[in-house]
Structure 1
Amino acid sequence: MEHAEAERRIRALSAEIDRHNHLYYVAARPEITDQAYDALLRELTELETRFPDLADPNSPTQRVGGDIAKNFPVVAHRYPMLSLSNSYSREDVAEFVARVEKAIGQVTFVMELKYDGVAISLSYINGRLHQAVTRGDGEKGEVITANVRTVRSIPLVLKGDDLPAELEVRGEIIFTRRRFEKLNAMRAEAGEELYANPRNTAAGTLKLQDPKEVARRGLDNFIYGVQSEQLATRSHFAMIEQAHRWGFKTPDPAKRFIEKAESVEGIMAFIDHWDTHRHALEMATDGVVIKVDDRHIQEELGMTAKSPRWAIAYKFQAEQALTRLNAVSYQVGRTGAITPVAELTPVQLSGTTVKRASLFNADQVARLGLHIGDTVRVEKAGEIIPQVVGVEVASRPPDADPVIFPERCPDCGTSLVRLEGEAHYCPNENGCPPQIARRIEHFVGRKAMDIEGLGGETIEVLLKAGLIQGIADLYDLHKEQLLGLGKGWGEKSAQSVIDGIAASRAVPFDRVLFALGIRHVGETIARKIARSAGSMDRLLNMSKEEMTAIEEVGEVVAESMHAFLAAPQNRATVERLRAAGLRFEVEAAAVAAGDQLKELTFVVSGVFENFSRDGIKQAIESHGGKVSGSISKKTNFVLAGADMGPAKRAKADDLGVAVIDEKEFMRMIGKK
């Protein structure tokens, strides 16, 4: 066969196999037998082997898996993957609808099933799968494209002529119940331990290093969101229908997997239906997602720091089980917080064996009135975290001892402290072993110093070996010390840890500040403090009053920050970290470019010529301004790009807020 003829045949075979994949895995309407399908795939495989220059990374032959991956690179999401606000209360759903209608007027809502799987972001360029990324922390995720190519219900090449040049699709990777049961049957036959539940198994499968094994397991998916700057419709519902025409597996309106409503009654009817019928579905679902249908109105409503204001997730009531409380243990966190944990007789709950459950704090223990030997009701919060929610008092043994919260730290014996509105905590932060271990774990974590190879078990080994006693000791470690630990430590693993520690010296100041693990100082607060102070030297000399003047830093945070930095041992740690070469100043690029926008608040809307949405927000903040998610009387300017929603413009007009374009903004910051 000539090269040109092979190219034509490969193209035709690929299109034909893609069509049959869609008919079988998405439309559930197969037209040919498995044998005929296999024959087409064999022919394509043989041609790609004979003509390797014609092989395509998005060929149907890639569905069976490729080479083993050594790691998964981390990339930033173009559009952040935000979490939804969750509720188990129908009253909360009604309040959500009321808030939206108060802000906008009557709108159309879309209800969809909330699939209990693993969130994924799929990017397509010119209709071809470019990249698949896990949710990660919402801002960044891991690239697992090779594994996702094996999911046969995900199209590698899209259908149709009306495709945006760049498209990002959000979905949920799942196991159907039938496939999960088959997978466990195969493991039982092989004498292997059974998997606990479909969701955790899907998550683990996606992180396997071998795509061939991923392909063998048979993952599935549903698409629930489409994002692009070139979408032809404002309607989320219509966009899901369009995604189906492009070849995606989407919620089927005919099966009531997705539905529209214009009232809270319509939303509740959808919830009622699936609360009753969800157990008959082929896939696990733990709730219903309610969204505003109009994307422009979504934009106008904006979002909080963690979740959109235009959507809410209603979670079905969790399954409960009865079991015996055998004991209560107490965990010490990195800030010294004491968490009571119920030790239980093992019980099956939502597909997993539960042996321990959170009791949260002393108030919860007192509210439940727990006694050792009690029969307790256990459920999974969000189908994930087991917790004790009730006690069968009538079943209590006559000689049962009440659970009494300790007055001293269970690990170091220090008297516990409790501030109003907070949990008990151990104040011995530099002498309590679990606090030290957890603080080091926090320090090396991905959102902090991001040092690979230093997990909880490794840190415990280093502590027991006396190689470290605190975070600063990490920067004194040598490869030879790690190799001397024996089993499990080879040249490669030891060097990887040393390289990770060295690389952490380049982490910016705000993350170093967060990594210190100061009580009440999270990522966002650390970023604002670092930006305001500019350097550790300035921060060390700030008064509590000066700290309180920083945006979002109240008296509690300022007191905690000041106390931490005033402690001699913490000061010594800071100086050792400085000597180790960590960054204790805000980089020049992150320092305010000017104060032209000082004390001005902006709301950003639409698409811009010279900036991404995140880029224009950074430009506002770097020139002294603030960015808000919604228009109010406190808003100074609405910065309008192309495709700004008319409702947002109308609200700006009603409140007398000035609307400016990108050119005017450039002039304000001194750029032409």
Structure 2
Amino acid sequence: MHRVVGVPNVTPTYASSNTTLSQLKWIATNSMTTSMLNPTQLQLLEVADLTPLNLSPEQIAEMATKLDASLLSDAQLVGFLQICNALYRGGEPLITDLAYDQIFLAELEKRHPDHPYLQTVEPELAFAGKTVLLPEKMLSTEKTYTADGIKKWLARLEKAAEDIGIDIESLHFKSTPKLDGYAAYDDGNLLYTRGDGRKGTDITRVFERGLIVGGNGLRGQGAGEIVVNQSYFASHLADTFDNARNFQASIIKEKDLGQHALEAIQNHAAVFYPFAQLPQWQGCAQDLKANLADIITQALSSVDYDVDGVVFEVTDEVLKNHLGATRHHHRWQIAYKNNIETAIVTVLSVTPQTSRSGRVNPVAELEPTRLSGALISRATAHHYGMVKEQGIGIGTVIELTRSGQVIPKIERVITPQTPQIPEHCPSCGSDLVWDSDYLYCLNTTQCPAQIENSIEHFFRVLANNDGFGGKTIQKLHAAGVSSVYAIYQLSLEDLMGMGFGEKTAQNLLAQRQLSQSLAIEDWRFLGAFGIHRMGLGNCERLLQHYRLADIFQLTVEEIINIEGFADKTAAAVVESLAKIQHDFQQLYQLGFNLITTPLLSEQQQNHSPIAGKIIVFTGTMIHGKRDVMAQQAKRLGAKVATSVTGKTDFLVTGTDVGAAKIAAAIEKGVNVISEDAYLALLS
């Protein structure tokens, strides 16, 4: 049994900027993604002309399952964002909004703040019909997942108002529910898709099919969304369509309407709803700050359509014109997104899964339950200590929550049952041992799951090659390959003898060669070995003090003296380094193209003109890639940042840099120089 409780029945809970990202990683064991793309998703990618991105369906699904953007190359990251956007627009989402925004989009912004993908509106899929210029731009909306984000936005607006002499007390704001439908624009004559925000596709045919306008029913009210009534979807469409967006897309793209779409239009359950007709709250900034939670709750429950947030905007036209817009969004508008749903669900079973570290994690298999538009059938139970203590087993009744449309979480156990605690590793059958709340398999050298996950981790962290995904590694391991080093010894004949076709085998050898020839940082190479308590940040920190070849002789005391390494961490690092030393030396001697991390002691003695300076690179560089320039700057003793602050020494500008960004840097006292001036400075 399950009972879904919708957004209107809950109080909004604000996301924490300190915990959101780590919580997002939980999704890796949950069911938003699958091991392969379905036929409809593949067709959407073909329509969107994204097949030339050279990412196989298996690689795409793997990226969506891992949800670790830091392991992707720049090209993979941008390609994956394009793919996720196309599937979302087509009603077949691969990952959730929050994962898209705060994992993958955030990673791109961290690496390349001025990347063209961040500066433009994510395009809608092209449908049959002529492409025309929109009567006015339909930009995206700036998003935040926290109450603090709304307050910072208000502070920016108040500062802007003060700068142009507008009385802050006179400012008025309004909020409306953020419809989760299909964006369109109605000028009274034609109806357009949003397209890329500037040009859209003529879909006036949907009105000719009988689609009505929501609210007062009048045409020509500008921007809005094609939506379907929530209660109608639940009673008439939920068994046929995975989510409302999937159905909404069918209204637009079907040449001949299917029976479900035709009936929804005839019953006026599917409509084009202009934003101008949405119920709204209006008030001053003080009222907005004081009553934010109530305003959000009211907006979320004000319409019987899917809502994925609340849009806030200032109404003063002079201030709006002053603030203007980026190529991506209006500065006078922001969307708060944080939907929560709960459901009472029965646990069907608890499945143990062995990780790379040997930890055996429990995954609760659930009665399929729809939350926030996705069908959830799995949720993490965190660790077997929780399973044992709370009685999570077959028949356990739990309350499941999904916050921000991302995290399926066991909120509480309602009816406990006897848990089934595994005694043996599900991968190799070895006895499991308890360490605090966790169960571990200690058979590190022979456990298939640990071996395969470790090999996959190595190639994924290098992030300079493709081809060695989970399926490939499983096949290699089944043929007797049990280490990364063994993969580097394979010949074309070996691979073909293992069942790989000649073309696939040649591609694997080519990707293997790339992993050795393409330059990577030495700390990334070290991090690929999966050393306990040594994430990529700690690897870089360690190599800022000691050369890669010398780290295996380090003592606990020497590591403790490095800032950021506590006693327990240092002891674990020394122990783990000893375990991987043999494997490391084997691979290191193969001759990878490693970029040496500058030692802090050398940086302090470095007399280059940028030693000790904080530098930000922006725009498109003419004489070299920004990543390469950043690496060179680090070797010369500089610190490279991704955003300008009052502490920034140099903003190095390439082409296509906005005047506002340069002016803001100058206002902070930053020395703004061109790429040519920067290179002249170095020489």
**TM-score of Structure 1 vs Structure 2, range by shorter chain:** 0.5 to 0.7
RMSD: 5.9
Q: How far off its partner does 1:478 sit? A: 2.6
Preserved CA contact (<8 Å) 1:377 1:391: yes
Name the aligned partner's letter for residue 154 of structure 1.
G
The answer to whether 1:344 aligns with 2:390 is: no
Q: How far off its partner does 1:512 sit? A: 2.2
**1:493 aligned partner:** 504
Cα distance in 1 for partners of 2:283, 2:565 equals 42
C-alpha spacing 1:69/1:668, structure 2 compared with 1 (3 Å): closer
* Match among 435, 444, 447 for residue 429 of structure 1: 444
Please list the CA deviations of residues 297-351 of structure 1 after superposition, one character each: whole Å capped at 9, or x if unmatched: 999xxxxxxxxxx999744443333232233222222123332111233444444
Find the residue that maps to 1:452 and give its secondary structure.
Answer: coil
**1:512 aligned partner:** 525
Q: How far off its partner does 1:276 sit? A: 1.1
Please list the CA deviations of residues 108-149 of structure 1 after superposition, one character each: whole Å capped at 9, or x if unmatched: 89979778799xxxxxxxxxxxxxxxxxxxxxxxxxxxxxxx
* Residues 2-41 of structure 1 aligned to structure 2 (within 5 Å): none
Q: Give the TM-score of the pair, scaled to structure 1.
A: 0.54
Q: How far off its partner does 1:438 sit? A: 1.2
C-alpha spacing 1:473/1:608, structure 2 compared with 1 (3 Å): closer
* Match among 488, 494, 504 for residue 481 of structure 1: 494
Preserved CA contact (<8 Å) 2:225 2:274: no
The answer to whether 1:72 aligns with 2:85 is: no
Name the aligned partner's letter for residue 465 of structure 1.
A
**1:566 aligned partner:** 578
**1:448 aligned partner:** 462
Cα distance in 1 for partners of 2:616, 2:321 equals 15
**2:585 aligned partner:** 575
The answer to whether 1:470 aligns with 2:511 is: no
C-alpha spacing 1:491/1:361, structure 2 compared with 1 (3 Å): same
Q: How far off its partner does 1:469 sit? A: 0.8
Find the residue that maps to 2:356 and give its secondary structure.
Answer: coil
Preserved CA contact (<8 Å) 1:338 1:425: yes
Cα distance in 2 for partners of 1:555, 1:430 equals 27
Cα distance in 1 for partners of 2:637, 2:409 equals 45
357-366 or 70-79, larger mean C-alpha shift: 70-79
* Residues 368-379 of structure 1 aligned to structure 2 (within 5 Å): 368-370=390-392, 372-379=394-401
Cα distance in 2 for partners of 1:217, 1:434 equals 49
Preserved CA contact (<8 Å) 2:350 2:393: no
**2:351 aligned partner:** 329
Q: How far off its partner does 1:475 sit? A: 0.9
**2:242 aligned partner:** 196
Find the residue that maps to 2:512 and give its secondary structure.
Answer: helix
**1:586 aligned partner:** 596
- What is the percent sequence identity of the aligned residues? 24
Please list the CA deviations of residues 420-447 of structure 1 after superposition, one character each: whole Å capped at 9, or x if unmatched: xx965545433332121111122222x5
Preserved CA contact (<8 Å) 1:297 1:647: no
Name the aligned partner's letter for residue 582 of structure 1.
F
Q: How far off its partner does 1:275 sit? A: 1.0
Preserved CA contact (<8 Å) 2:652 2:675: no
Cα distance in 2 for partners of 1:428, 1:330 equals 16
Please list the CA deviations of residues 278-302 of structure 1 after superposition, one character each: whole Å capped at 9, or x if unmatched: 6515xxx533477999999999xxx
**1:244 aligned partner:** none
**1:280 aligned partner:** 305
Name the aligned partner's letter for residue 673 of structure 2.
E
Preserved CA contact (<8 Å) 2:611 2:636: no
Find the residue that maps to 2:340 and give its secondary structure.
Answer: coil
Preserved CA contact (<8 Å) 1:514 1:526: yes
Name the aligned partner's letter for residue 446 of structure 2.
G
Preserved CA contact (<8 Å) 2:337 2:404: yes
Please list the CA deviations of residues 212-270 of structure 1 after superposition, one character each: whole Å capped at 9, or x if unmatched: xx99899xxxxxxxxxxxxxxxxxxxxxxxxxxxxxxxx97635699998737437376
Cα distance in 2 for partners of 1:563, 1:604 equals 38
* Residues 281-320 of structure 1 aligned to structure 2 (within 5 Å): 281=306, 285-288=307-310, 314-320=336-342
Preserved CA contact (<8 Å) 1:601 1:628: no
**2:380 aligned partner:** 358
* Residues 91-106 of structure 1 aligned to structure 2 (within 5 Å): 92-93=146-147, 95-97=148-150
Cα distance in 1 for partners of 2:423, 2:322 equals 55
Cα distance in 2 for partners of 1:546, 1:496 equals 43
Please list the CA deviations of residues 566-595 of structure 1 after superposition, one character each: whole Å capped at 9, or x if unmatched: 22xx2221122124333355399xx97945
Cα distance in 1 for partners of 2:245, 2:225 equals 7
The answer to whether 1:438 aligns with 2:453 is: yes
**2:26 aligned partner:** none
* Match among 424, 430, 434 for residue 413 of structure 1: 430
**1:391 aligned partner:** 413
**1:14 aligned partner:** none
Cα distance in 1 for partners of 2:571, 2:528 equals 18
Q: How far off its partner does 1:153 sit? A: 3.9
Please list the CA deviations of residues 179-233 of structure 1 after superposition, one character each: whole Å capped at 9, or x if unmatched: 99xxxxxx99xxxx96634679999x9xxxxxxxx99899xxxxxxxxxxxxxxx
Cα distance in 2 for partners of 1:606, 1:179 equals 45
C-alpha spacing 1:606/1:313, structure 2 compared with 1 (3 Å): same
Cα distance in 1 for partners of 2:421, 2:298 equals 44
Cα distance in 1 for partners of 2:606, 2:320 equals 37
Preserved CA contact (<8 Å) 2:176 2:299: no
C-alpha spacing 1:469/1:198, structure 2 compared with 1 (3 Å): farther
Preserved CA contact (<8 Å) 1:601 1:625: yes
Please list the CA deviations of residues 81-110 of structure 1 after superposition, one character each: whole Å capped at 9, or x if unmatched: 7899975xxxx50x4455677899756899
Q: How far off its partner does 1:513 sit? A: 2.3
Name the aligned partner's letter for residue 276 of structure 1.
S
C-alpha spacing 1:64/1:637, structure 2 compared with 1 (3 Å): closer
Cα distance in 2 for partners of 1:543, 1:117 equals 59
* Match among 170, 176, 195 for residue 154 of structure 1: 195
Find the residue that maps to 2:409 and give its secondary structure.
Answer: strand
Cα distance in 1 for partners of 2:441, 2:612 equals 43
Flag structure 2 segments of 5+ consecutive residues without an equivalent: 1-44, 56-74, 79-107, 119-140, 162-172, 183-191, 201-223, 231-236, 258-272, 326-331, 654-658
Cα distance in 1 for partners of 2:390, 2:174 equals 39
Name the aligned partner's letter for residue 494 of structure 1.
A
Q: How far off its partner does 1:460 sit? A: 1.8
Preserved CA contact (<8 Å) 1:531 1:586: no
Please list the CA deviations of residues 479-525 of structure 1 after superposition, one character each: whole Å capped at 9, or x if unmatched: 33333344xx3222222222212221124343322322223333444
Preserved CA contact (<8 Å) 1:578 1:584: no
Name the aligned partner's letter for residue 459 of structure 1.
I
Preserved CA contact (<8 Å) 2:358 2:441: yes
Cα distance in 2 for partners of 1:562, 1:600 equals 31
Preserved CA contact (<8 Å) 1:639 1:665: no
C-alpha spacing 1:631/1:457, structure 2 compared with 1 (3 Å): closer
Name the aligned partner's letter for residue 365 of structure 2.
E
Q: Give the TM-score of the pair, scaled to structure 2.
A: 0.53
Higher relative contact order (CA 8 A, sep 6+): 2
Flag structure 1 segments of 5+ consecutive residues without an equivalent: 1-62, 119-150, 160-173, 181-186, 206-213, 219-250, 300-309, 653-657
Number of equivalent positions? 478
70-79 or 255-264, larger mean C-alpha shift: 255-264
Name the aligned partner's letter for residue 54 of structure 2.
F
